[in-house]
């Protein structure tokens, strides 16, 4: 699986959230490198768990900013986050059980999430959160 690279088409007009997304891209690329090097299942599980852990943190910050901005579709966005985390946890459980196919599926899952969720669902909140003050949001 090839790397994906950040460009302005992924921007949600929030420096903090864009930085979060860039870090997720970096984690994805590290995961792809580990797959390519045929690292063991434990290493892949650890990397995927890191993606999930950071995504959970990112989602919480994103939801705080959406709440503060009065974003009208926050409920469905939170549901999308819950679905992504649930699906990721299921994939991680399969990886931890030794399922090599799940390792490849995890890479595809992350890629689809980054490319489609950020450019689609996240792009919808961009006009709302662009002006939000973020200095008191813990990251």
pTM of the model: 0.88
pLDDT-derived band at 133 (thresholds 50, 70, 90) equals low
| Domains of the chain, earliest start first | 14-129 (1.20.120.50)
Q: What average pLDDT does this structure show over 63-92?
A: 95
> What are the DSSP calls for 52-106, one per residue?
HHHHHHHHHHHHHHHHHHT-TTHHHHHHHHHHHHHHHHHHHHHHHTT-HHHHHHH
pLDDT band at residue 98 under the 50/70/90 scheme = very high
């Amino acid at each position: 699986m090839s790397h994906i690279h950040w460009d302005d088409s992924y921007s949600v007009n929030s420096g903090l959230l864009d930085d979060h997304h860039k870090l997720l891209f970096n984690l994805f690329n590290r995961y792809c490198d580990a797959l390519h090097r045929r690292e063991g299942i434990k290493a892949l599980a650890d990397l995927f768990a890191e993606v999930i852990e950071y995504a959970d943190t990112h989602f919480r910050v994103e939801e705080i900013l959406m709440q503060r901005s009065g974003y009208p579709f926050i409920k469905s966005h939170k549901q999308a986050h819950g679905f992504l985390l649930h699906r990721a946890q299921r994939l991680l459980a399969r990886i931890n059980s030794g399922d090599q196919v799940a390792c490849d599926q995890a890479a595809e899952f992350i890629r689809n999430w980054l490319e489609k969720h950020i450019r689609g669902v996240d792009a919808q909140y961009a006009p709302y959160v662009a002006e939000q003050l973020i200095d008191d949001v813990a990251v």
